[in-house]
Amino acid sequence: MKKLMLMMVLMSGVSLIAGCGGEAEKKKAGKKSAQNEHSSSDHIGGANPHKIELKDAPFNAMWEHAGDLVTITITDNEYKNETPIAAEVVTVTDAGKKNTFDLKPIKKDENGHASKFELESEKLEMTMDNKPTLSVKVGEKTHETVVLHIH
């Protein structure tokens, strides 16, 4: 019994040290307070996607990474359903505006819309933690926000 308890304590510590996959906030916040927080309840994607609020858009986004592969998923404003959009790319620009990354759609639907965009890049993965700007252009309208990585 003591070994089992010790093992559970050690595994909990490893989860906390691991970073992005270790913490889980269970907030069910609206669009105003949901900017880029981790959430483990009612979400799309992997174990711990990061929410991105696009204030003036009819959609929001979530980002996650698996190693150097960064995926941005376009969602409804409640982050519950994927929302395909008519965009060729979603763009991430680092805080210093020196590097720009275009994430391409994974798969388009019959209307040419997509909800998931990816790029494998170590530099992009590192950029996502340093307040980059996310830009999503749909038609003639561009929606932008600074991506905050809040734990």
Residues in the chain: 151
Instruction: Tell me if 57 sits within 8 A of 47, measured CB to CB.
Output: no
Query: How high is the pLDDT of residue 45?
Result: 55
Cα separation values, 61 from 3, 6, 13, 54, 88, Å: 43, 39, 30, 7, 15
What type of residue is 27? K
Instruction: Tell me if 149 sits within 8 A of 129, measured CB to CB.
Output: yes
Buried b (16+ CB within 10 A) or exposed e, 119-133: bebeebbebbeeebe
Please tell me the pTM assigned to this model: 0.71
Residue 51 confidence (pLDDT) above 70: yes
Over residues 16-35, mean pLDDT: 39
Over residues 130-147, mean pLDDT: 95
| DSSP assignment letter at 35 | T
Reported as a single tens digit per residue, the pLDDT across 64-112 is 999 999 999 999 999 999 999 999 999 999 999 999 999 999 999 999 9
